[in-house]
Amino acid sequence: MHPVLETLNSRFPEAVLSVHEDQARSEISACVAADRIVDVARFLHDDPTTAFDHITDICSADYPDDAERFEVIYHLLSLPHHTRIRLKARVTEDDASIASVTGIWKGANFLEREVYDLMGIRFTGHPDLRRILMPEDYDEGYPLRKDFPTEGRGWRSRFEFLPNMDDKEGGPPHGEVPEAQRQVFSSDAGSVSSPYRKEELLLNMGPQHPSTHGVIRVVLALDGERIVKATPDLGYLHRGVEKLAEGLAYMQIIPHTDRLDYVCSMTNNYAYVRAVEKLLNIQIPERAQYIRTLVAEMQRIIGHLFWLGTQAMDIGAMTVFFWTFREREVLLDLFEKLCGARLTLNYYRFGGVDSDFTPDLVSRVNAFLDTFPDRVREYDELLKSNRIWLARTRNVAVISGDDAINFGLTGPVLRGSGVAYDVRKLEPYDAYDKVEWEVPIGKNGDTYDRYWVRMEEMRQSCRIIRQCLAQMPDGPLVADVPQVTPPSKQKVMRDMESLIHHFIIFTQGFKPPKGETYCATEAPKGELGFFLISDGSPRPYRMKIRSPSFVHMGAFDHMARGYLISDIITIFGTYDVVMGECDR
């Protein structure tokens, strides 16, 4: 048995109800009594032999037929030991509450709010248990419960905060804020603790604002120009992808993942198909592995180019934006050649990829790689030694390595703080262990370091792509697993049995074995994880998307406090959030 499970069993004989080790997928999980969850979690976090310092995800599943209906699932990661564990705790419908672990991992704040919002499980001791993705006045239940219809129950917001223009009588005078609402904006006159006059001002930023990168609203409490508290208000782009997925066959979900992080949709496809492949235990042919790796790295370059352009434009360097889009255009043209689409690509398939990487594409990618390092140097020349850029990014939005881990941050944001955690190195998949590359890490955890990390990652991506192109063998593009992969188009057109096979796969879907698995992939923004529960039917029983943007927004307040209002746009930029992924 896995040593961590042994430790748990011996340490908490009565709290740990059962343990499970999944040899095939090398995953471990433990069922814990709901009332002891905090003790177990604290032990796992504090004990040096376990040291699960990173909270990856918290999600929930609904089993309406069971006595204890809801299951709260914690995914933990130990960075020192490189192990993952899944803790599960059951609660009943009558008393759907469990103790909060926000005291152990600060990142649990947003994750628990999401569980509360979508599944209705209360977390006792949570500092700010409100709805997060759904509107705050949403009152028809909890959407992820199995008895909630996918199309909803027809609720519409009444928008009580908007003045009603038709109602002339008794309403506030035109253009004036009524006295009751004014109170919200004025500071509490009773608490004069500081000898200096201190007034807090509430400033609403968004949902429509040029530099919020999508539709998000942040309420800033200001002391002068300094930010005292920043409260992100998410959910403007919530589409209920997780709920939708429960009604779709596995293959039908791939195009939906395109719409998560629409800036780099390939990586979402990638993360999803990898999770399903892990569930099915499929081996990928070698050529497909290389193609997947190199396409994912091309997508990473696009993601980082997009980030660089928008961040620089927010800070006022307009030219960088146009230059990065020039290079992005070249890559998008390549994607168009590769799979016919430019933005929502839908390219990855279970067991392989959709179409081949032709010699023409190889030469075009090579031509791009010849010029791209010079282009990156060009951006660097405009920004890296520019004193204004340094003044705007150095020591802005600093987050220490320990805090970053505690908040569950991943990707360049975590590496900028000096933590060398990269899923591609830690749990290498496809061709990442067959090529040489390095993980760039920063020192101070400020905006400049994250800038540097991403610039360096673009260079490393170039290295990976170059090696992939050189090493790519010939071979099939899709694994030969007849239960899952459809036959090739040529066969379908000529062969009766193949046509039937094709028909079966696309009408009924395939049936993965009963089980559950979490699979993490390194997206440009951080760790993009898919957690799948299969009940043996062709549709996932529960699919949870662990999106880096959402987890990163949980640390927004921590990162923004004490900085100036003008820094808010820098902080938005340095996170590289995409709201399509954050709100799902």
* Residues engaged in binding other proteins (CB under 8 A): 127, 174-175, 194, 196, 198, 210-211, 223, 225-226, 228-229, 312-319, 322-323, 326, 382-383, 386, 388-389, 391-392, 561-562, 564-567, 569
Residue linked to tokens 């199309």 = 151
To the nearest whole angstrom, how small is the minimum distance from the Cβ of residue 276 to other proteins?
Answer: 40
Candidates 268, 142, 249, 184; CA nearest to 527 is 268
What Cα–Cα distance (Å) separates residue 469 from each residue in 293, 300, 452, 464?
Answer: 10, 16, 26, 9
Q: Where are the alpha helices (DSSP H) in 384-526?
A: 387-393, 401-406, 411-416, 423-426, 447-471, 489-494, 496-508
- Give min distance, CB of 198 to other proteins, in A: 6
Show Cβ contacts of residue 574 under 8 Å, excluding neighbours closer than 6 positions: 311, 393, 396, 397, 413, 447, 450, 451
CB of 424 to other proteins, least distance (A): 31
Nearer to other proteins, 377 or 561 (CB): 561
Q: How far is the CB of 290 from other proteins (least distance, A)?
A: 32
Nearer to other proteins, 469 or 565 (CB): 565
Q: Which helix (H) or strand (E) holds 261?
A: none
Residue (155 or 322) nearer to other proteins, CB: 322
Closer CB to other proteins, 108 or 464, in the complex? 108
Q: Cβ of residue 126: shortest distance to other proteins, in angstroms? A: 13
- Of the candidates 314, 278, 444, 308, the one whose C-alpha atom is nearest the C-alpha of residue 380 is 308
Minimum separation from the CB atom of position 457 to other proteins (A) = 21
- Kindly tell me which of 225 and 497 has the beta carbon lying closer to other proteins: 225
Tell me how far apart the alpha carbons of residues 567 and 226 are, in angstroms, rounded to a whole number.
Answer: 10
Closest to other proteins by CB, 518 or 556: 556
Q: Count Cβ neighbours within 10 Å for each residue of 209-235 and write b for 16 or more, e otherwise.
A: bebbbbbbbbebbbeeeebbebebbbb
- The amino acid that residue 155 corresponds to is W
CB of 19 to other proteins, least distance (A): 37
Rounded least distance, CB 215 to other proteins, Å:
16
Smallest gap from Cβ 330 to other proteins, in A, equals: 12
Paired residues of 86 in beta bridges: 29, 75
- Report in angstroms the alpha-carbon separations of 468 from 290, 364, 371, 384, 461: 6, 14, 18, 30, 10
What's the CA gap between 37 and 51, in Å, rounded? Answer: 16
Q: Quick one: 300 exposed, middle or buried, by C-beta within 10 A (0-12, 13-18, 19+)?
A: buried
The nearer residue to other proteins, 367 or 388, going by C-beta atoms, is: 388
Beta bridge partners of 222: 201, 227
Between CA 541 and CA 546 the distance in angstroms is 16
For residues 90, 95, 96 and 100, what is the CA-based torsion angle, rounded to 10 degrees? Answer: -80
Nearest distance, CB of residue 294 and other proteins, angstroms:
26
- Decide: 366 and 383 in contact? Cβ < 8 Å: no
Which residue, 516 or 567, is less far from other proteins as judged by CB? 567
* Nearer CB in complex with other proteins: 264/560: 560
When the beta carbons of 250 and 323 are compared against other proteins, the nearer one is 323
